[in-house]
Every structure is written in structure tokens, then in C-alpha cells.
Structure 1
Amino acid sequence: MNGPLRQEAERTAGTRIEPGRRYGFFTDTTLCIGCKACEVACKEWNQLPAEEMALTGMSYDNTGSLSATTWRHVAFVEQVRDGQDDGSRPGGAPGRWLMMSDVCKHCANAPCLDACPTGAIFKTEFDTVVVQQDVCNGCGYCVPACPFGVVELDELDGKAHKCTLCYDRLKGGLEPACAKVCPTESIQFGEIEELDRRARERVGQLHERGERNAYLYGAPDTPGATGGLGRLNAFFLLLDRPEVYNLPSRPDRPANRIAPAFGTGLAALAGMAGLALAFLANGGERR
């Protein structure tokens, strides 16, 4: 490791990165201020093209969503109270902003990995999910397989792209660029078990302060960790329904949706075969 990388590794906050351990993100949306530093750092480190500075009709959001060239996306959700205070907003405020930095979830049981026919998508030694660009053939099977709409094909090279959780930085002992620059520690990087502990402690603190709507999405036994996904190695603390943040309430693996239909088809075939055998048997007796 050269001098600058060694210096940055020494400044990495409290996390010793070692192969064979599980790492991920805990994103506390209550701390997000919408500065987009994570978006900029992600694009700069991964040499992704910048978005045009144009009005999208989505408040201050110029990127719109995750894409093949935007691997971190800060959503701005403006909520206006509809007349009567329901007690969910401190001081009876007329509205609030909900902000969330979205990213690939690096699912424990990643559907995109299962759908890839070439082996381009693999689990790293840090339990994260990465697309190998030199192996990807651009078939696009991973795109509909992702229940979060994260993976996308790039129009320029025709290959699948998404967050790598800064795999190259992890191998050098450095935390991901987005977590490194987050000024409020809304994005926290670390070992999954430690992140789970911090997250549940944070939810308890918010409940004590009166924010009873706070909950985790994607940690074990919470919304988001459903449908055979296992858990999300990038999980979130939310204040409203998942759909408000453009997250599915019960994400599912495509295979789970196909299996019942496939099973029904097999049952139908078995029934038809039984009828055919019965018909032949009856016909034989008549002859």
C-alpha cells in the first residue's frame, strides 16, 4: 500500500477491514440533510459521468433514481400536512422533508446473482455483491431479478452496472467513498453485526424522544428482509412506509413468484397423464 493510501487507511473511522467478514451500510435517514456529498464522492471515485444540471420536477433531485451511472441516489420527499395534526410531526409543523440516500442492498441471497448465466455477478470476500465487467455479456437477466430496481444496463457499453460497495477500496483497507464523506454520519459503514447493534440502539433513542414511527428496513425480522432475500447488507432506518421512499414493502425473489405457477403446471400435466392412462386402460378393456 503506497503512502497516500496508507494515510487514508489510518484515518478510516474505527473499522478494520478484513476478508472473511461481512460488511455493509446502515443508512439513518433521520440524519440525512440532502447534501448529495455521497453521490458526488461515488461518481468521482468510480469515474461515473455527472448528470445534467436540469430541473426534473422532483424538488432538488437532479439524478432522479439509481441507474447504471448513478450508484448512490439521494431522494427528496416533501410531505405537506393535510389540515389536521396527527402528532407525527413535532410541534404540529405544516410539513416535513424526508431524505434518503439509496444504494444497492447487497442482499444476503442476491436474486441478481442467481439470475446471471455467465457468473459475472459474484459474492466477494466481504459478503458484498459485485458485477465483473469483463465477464458480463449484457444479457440483462439481472435487471428484472432485482426486487429493488437497482441493476441497469449502460447504454454505452451494454453491460450491467451497480454499486460495488467500493470493492477496490475495501481490498485496500479503506471504507467506501460515500460513507467516508457523509458529514452527518447518515451513511455508516462497518461489520454487519456492529451496524445492527447501532441501528437498534438508534431506533430506541428515537422512540424515547417521541418519534414512534422510526423502524428498521432490511435488518433481520424487519420489513424488507423478506421473500427469501435473507437480509439486506445495506439497510435503513425509516420514518414512514417503505413505499414513500420508493422501497417495496415486501420484496420478493422472482423465483418465489414463478414457483407456484410452475408447480401448478406440473400438477396439471400429471392430471392429464392420469386421464390418458385411464382412457387407455378403459379402451383396452372394451377391446
Structure 2
Amino acid sequence: MAEKMMALYDSSKCTGCGACSVACKQWNSLPGEKTSLVNSYQTQNVHSSATWTFMSYQETYENKRNNWFFRKNQCMHCTDAACEKACNYKAISHNEQGFVVIDHTKCIGCGYCTTNCTFHIPRVDAKLEKSTKCTGCSDRVEQGLSPACVKVCQPQALIFGGKQAIVKQARERVQQLRASYPRANFYGDAELGGLNYACVLLREPQFYNLPANPSVPLSLTIWKDWVLPLGGLGIAGALAMVGIGTFMNYRGGAGKGHHTDEGKGGDVHD
């Protein structure tokens, strides 16, 4: 069995140069895109079929000091990957190195992986009609090379290696940083079973627009783990639960015109 691999991004070492984004595009033959200014020096804030990784910039002014906080945005390659669970065609899987990859011979471009991804990463290529995202540079790794973004990183904010060794380095790095940055943390140590692309952050995950406690959507878990395995019986049970819930809601007064603004329906966002 091949050793599980891991990439680690250390935000304390990052200069925000964006060379990783360029290397990703070059290695994967991804075209350039027209972008617009988001804030400060940031010109992109969402992934696309042509952009699998980009830098985000947070600028703060505290204690009479200007501070920059960077983060490399990309697929986290979750161990408990919602995109893999969501795919009805088994087009998404973990390879031997532990990275989440998409098999385009099976993918139909439905976008269900995007809808259910905890971090909203995959994007459907309109021309190919296939879902796309970071591959972990599987083709390079299989040849004993590091991912393109890691190879090009001059300040070594990105490192790559065996998972156990990288996890150990990340934990040690956080302990070193906490002397100056008390809120430093290792994001990806336990989240979603462990992330194979993890981060050393200087502040709470929410500051970097990351969920503090990422999880697979409950609706997906119920459908895949409970309803489908039981077949028709599971579907009947789910419908029965909906019926009971509706009846109890009615008995509680929801059917008597007692709606409030807070109680009205709306879009559900995972």
C-alpha cells in the first residue's frame, strides 16, 4: 500500500506572491481568465474550471500596525469527502496517495459535487461538461515529484511529504507560532477525518472564511447512508417522517396563521 501523502500550507511563511497559482495553471494547461479587483491585491474570490487555486488577502490595522494575512484557496482533499459521497456515478474517489480525484470517463458534469462540497470547490467545465478541481498533481506525485505549487514556492510556505511526518511538523510549527500568535492553529488535523491539504493559520478559521467545524451536509448523509441502503423501505420511512413532522407542526399552530418573519421559509444553505 502506498504511503498517504499530504501538502501543508503555512500562512506564517507565505508572501502572497501567487506563484503557486501560476504554476498550477502552467502544469495543468489551464487558460488565463479575466478578473476584477476584489480587495487590496486580490482579483479572484471563487474557483472556476480554469482556476483551481488562488490567493486570498486579508488586511488589518491593529495596535498601530498594518498586518497582512494570506491563504491559499484550493481543494482540501478531505478524508471524509462530501463530493465523493455525493457522486452517484462513482466518478470521485481517493487515489493511493490519499488525494481526491475525478474520473472524467465517469463524470457526467451534473455539479452535484459542487453543491455538496463542504468548501464549494469543484466547478463544472461548460465545454467539457465535466467537473474539475485540484488533482493533487497526481501525475507528478506518481513519478516521485512534488505538486507544482509546492515545487515553485520560494519561502517554503508549502511543503509536501508523508502524512505522518507532515502532521508532526504542522503541530510543532503551531506551538512555535503561539508565542507570537496565540490564536495559531492547525486546520486539517482532525477536520473531516483529516485534510490531505491542510493549513497552519495565524487566526481562527472563520477569519479566513473557512468553517470552524466543517462537516458533510446532513441531508447527504441521511440520503446516502440511511435512505438508499434501505431502498423502498427507507424512502417510505423518510416520507412518513415528513408527514409526522408536518402534522405535529400543524398541531403546534403553524397551520393557523401564526407565521412570523423568522418562521417563514427560505433558502437553505449548507
Q: What is the TM-score of this pair, normalised by structure 1?
A: 0.75
Q: Is the 8 A contact 2:185 2:204 kept in 1?
A: no
Number of residue equivalences? 235
Structure 2 residue aligned with 1:278: none
Structure 1 window deviating more from structure 2 (31-40 vs 263-272): it is 263-272
Structure 2 residue aligned with 1:216: 186
Structure 1 residue aligned with 2:49: 68
Distance 1:112 1:49, change over 3 A: same
Structure 1 residue aligned with 2:144: 173
Structure 2 unaligned residues grouped into runs of 5+: 228-236, 247-270
Q: Is the 8 A contact 1:51 1:63 kept in 2?
A: no
Distance in 1 of aligned mates of 2:182 and 2:138: 36
Structure 2 residue aligned with 1:160: 131
The one-character-per-residue Cα deviations of 1:201-220 (angstroms, maximum 9, x if unpaired) are 11111123x22121111112
Distance in 2 of aligned mates of 1:121 and 1:264: 27
Pick from 29, 35, 43: which aligns with 1:47?
A: 29
The answer as to 2:73 corresponding to 1:102 is yes
Q: CA deviation at 1:257?
A: 6.9
Structure 2 residue aligned with 1:247: 210
Distance 1:269 1:55, change over 3 A: closer
The one-character-per-residue Cα deviations of 1:55-87 (angstroms, maximum 9, x if unpaired) are 323222223322221111111111133xxx3xx
The AA in structure 2 aligned to 1:78 is: E
Distance in 2 of aligned mates of 1:235 and 1:78: 22
| Partner SS, residue 150 of structure 2 | helix
| Equivalent residues in 2 for 1:1-287, closer than 5 Å | 20-52=2-34, 54-81=35-62, 85=63, 92-93=64-65, 95-208=66-179, 210-220=180-190, 225=191, 229-255=192-218, 259=222, 266-267=240-241
The AA in structure 1 aligned to 2:205 is: P
Q: Is the 8 A contact 2:20 2:153 kept in 1?
A: yes
Q: CA deviation at 1:37?
A: 0.6
Distance in 1 of aligned mates of 2:81 and 2:245: 35
Structure 2 residue aligned with 1:12: none
Distance in 1 of aligned mates of 2:49 and 2:245: 46
Structure 1 unaligned residues grouped into runs of 5+: 1-18, 86-91, 273-287
Structure 1 window deviating more from structure 2 (150-159 vs 101-110): it is 150-159
Distance in 2 of aligned mates of 1:258 and 1:130: 21
Q: What is the TM-score of this pair, normalised by structure 2?
A: 0.80
Q: CA deviation at 1:126?
A: 0.7
Distance in 1 of aligned mates of 2:187 and 2:6: 14
The AA in structure 2 aligned to 1:203 is: V
Distance 1:271 1:177, change over 3 A: closer
Q: CA deviation at 1:258?
A: 6.0
